[in-house]
Amino acid sequence: GMAAFFYNIANAGLSMAFAFYKTAPIFTALIAGFFFAQKLRALSWFAILLGFVGFLLTAQPSGGFALTDIVGIIGGLCSGAALASVHELRKYYKANSIVLSYMIAGTLLMAVLLILGELYPKGSGLLKGVKFSFPNAYEWLLLGLVALGGYYFQLYLTRAFAASKKAGIIASISYSDVIFAMIFGLFLGEALPNFIALCGIFVIALSGVLLAKQK
């Protein structure tokens, strides 16, 4: 899920990447309902359907989905599965242990992608742009900030999901990062998504808020 998220940041832009990532609570609710026996009410099903409508508005497929759209929905599914798992793992492990397993698994996956990037240096599809180059001092600083910010993000997100009574309860607060993504994207020179895509992002956020309201 995180690999898909970073791929879309590089290829779809900051705000669009966050919008696709925010489909995760929809999948969290579905997985929690089917595998962990959390009851889904009529409003929950409506919110899930609403979320997928928001995804279609955001992706705006014309004759088919773009690769970033497909990666986005796969990333949302994987992230949703991870968050639902965290909700159950809280019964057996502390948040720090869960985050450590996340970091180790992510590091191993990125190592595999880098090796594939070396084997196929031109890159195509998902491997496009994966080519490894050794960072300079400034890039090490940026990577360190990414690692530090990512650690605290994952730690507090894990603690929030572990402390919640329902796996989807954190969604309403977490949607604020889409707004921050748009703001930072503007500072980085990205254009705002078009009106239909903005409506789609709003619909996705609304679906998450409705899911979070379920007791």
Confidence grade of residue 167 (pLDDT, cut at 50, 70, 90): low
Q: Which amino acid is at 147?
A: A
> Taking the model in full, what pTM does it have?
0.71
Largest CA distance in the chain: 54
Measure the N-to-C terminal CA separation of the chain; round to a whole number of Å.
27
Q: Which two tokens stand for residue 54?
A: 């928001």
Domain boundaries, position 13: 2-212
| Per-residue confidence (pLDDT) for residue 121, from 0 to 100 | 57
Quick one: which of 25, 70, 35, 69 has its CA closest to 175?
25
| Per-residue confidence (pLDDT) for residue 145, from 0 to 100 | 92
54 contacts 202 by C-beta, under 8 angstroms: yes
Q: Which residue has the tokens 């619909």?
A: 203
Task: Quote the CA–CA distance of 192 and 203 in Å, as a whole number.
Answer: 17
CA distances from 13 to 18, 21, 39, 66, 190 (A): 9, 12, 36, 14, 7
Region 35-46: mean pLDDT is: 79
Q: Which residue has the tokens 């057996």?
A: 92
User: Has residue 30 got a pLDDT over 70?
Assistant: yes
Q: What's the number of domains the chain is made of?
A: 1
- Tens digits of per-residue pLDDT, 96-112? 888 888 888 888 887 88
Residue 137, phi-psi category: left (phi > 0), alpha (psi -120 to 50), beta (remainder)? alpha
Quick one: which of 33, 80, 32 has its CA closest to 52?
80
Which residues have C-beta within 8 Å of that of residue 181, sequence separation ≥ 6?
14, 15, 17, 18
64 contacts 12 by C-beta, under 8 angstroms: no
Which residues have C-beta within 8 Å of that of residue 215, sequence separation ≥ 6?
166
User: Has residue 138 got a pLDDT over 90?
Assistant: yes
Q: Which helix (H) or strand (E) holds 40?
A: none
